[in-house]
Chains A and B, each alone.
Chain A
Amino acid sequence: MPNEIDTLMALDPLELSAQDIDQIIAYHRKGRALFESGVKPKRSGEAAPSLAEIGLAQKPAPLKRRKL
């Protein structure tokens, strides 16, 4: 089943808005982040893990130190 990027890539390029292009770029940047974290990006149509699922999107919770 084609995902949103497949739909954008299939459009007449003259119909792509600046936001569409930004979306395409963001999609590929996400794929690169996944790849560099050791997760192989999935083929289009397959659900890829989100950045949050692989711990990249959110800052880790602050450490709670014991009072000495």
Chain B
Amino acid sequence: MIINITTNILTAAQTVEALLTDPAPSPYLPGTHVQVAWDSTSLGYLKTCPRLYEYTMIRGYSSRDESVHLRFGIEYHHALQDYDLSRAAGILHDDAVHDVVRELLLRTGDFDPDHKTKTREGLVRTVIWYLDNFRDDPARTFILSDGKAAVEQSFRFELDWGPQSALNITATEIEKRRQGKGEMMLGQPYILCGHLDKVVTYNDALFVMDHKTTAYDPSSYYFSKYEPDNQMTLYSLAAKVVLNAPIKGVIIDAAQVGDTWTKFGRGFTFRSPDQLEEWLADLKYWLTLAEQFAIANHYPQNDTACDKFGGCRFREVCSKSPQVRESFLESNFIKLKEEDRWNPLKAR
């Protein structure tokens, strides 16, 4: 079911260059909202609620405090990646921590959110505490065949099937397509993409490692929600495809960020080959649904999901009468410019 694997191991310089020079290609078929490039985030929106998917992915609405969580998470991941790369280069722990903190402070000089826990101080504290807590981590960073540490691995691979819409493009559209500019072509298959925080060896087995920041206690109850889980299954599948080696599953390192403290927990979630095959088979139904929603330009509410995950950010919108929803959206949410909206194809 999977062909055309593209592993895109971006160096920091390539990432910056890509960001500065090449805008990310659109994840949709041209002139449509049929999404062909999917990652766990956009799939998660779709599976949770088509209306949530529409508001976030298609229309680009974002809540005002969502950017705090996103920025906090991005900087946290960036700092941990910097540390892994330093250690892989032979730099000692304390020197690596010093360098990481210096760079983190430089990057976050503008980060001053109005949030109780996800503050700049909380970010620096969480990074330092994590690195010290896992100083002698038995989960060791996997070294790829080219000698590079398997951190921040971008992946992109095509499935052997695509949207029906890609086969129905008119001759006029075909003439408008330009080769090699990242636009979707006739017969475009679906693409699965994303980023793996790290691949590690643990007890002689390969795992993906994923870092999470949360407000919740990283207890066994917290980790039970990853069985099953869309993102963890995709990561397990991606690592297996990209490394062409058996992956046992994902190690989840969760950081509960308090106002003056951070608490860490580690959980494991496993995926068998049968589970990965089942996820791919189910994916076909989900993406067919997404295409139907896009063609009909109608994304139904899943009104059984409104209270999940701490409550949907659009719950108040959906609880309003349809006639007033638009004005409520405009006044209470930020509408991101198209280039700032979530795009699975955007380099990170």
Contact = CB atoms under 8 A, between A and B. Distances in A.
B173 interface: no
B106 A13 contact: yes
Determine chain B's interface SS by DSSP, over half rule.
helix
Interface in A27-46: 28-29, 31-32, 35, 40-44
Q: Which of A9, A18, A43 has the most CB of B within 10 A?
A: A9
B260 interface: yes
Contact of A31 (B98, B102, B108, B261): B261
Given A13-B109, A32-B132, A40 B101 contact: no
A31 B125 contact: yes
B50 to A, nearest CB: 43
A21 B102 contact: yes
A18 B129 CA distance: 19
Interface string B237-274: 00000000000000000000001110000000000000
A20 to B, nearest CB: 9
B128 A25 contact: yes
Contacts of B121: 5, 9, 44
A31 B279 CA distance: 43
Interface of B: 97-98, 101-102, 105-106, 108-109, 120-121, 124-125, 128-129, 132-133, 259-261
Which 6 residue pairs are nearest across A and B when measured between Cβ atoms? A13-B105, A41-B260, A28-B128, A13-B106, A35-B261, A13-B109
Interface of A: 5, 9, 12-14, 16, 18, 21-22, 24-25, 28-29, 31-32, 35, 40-44
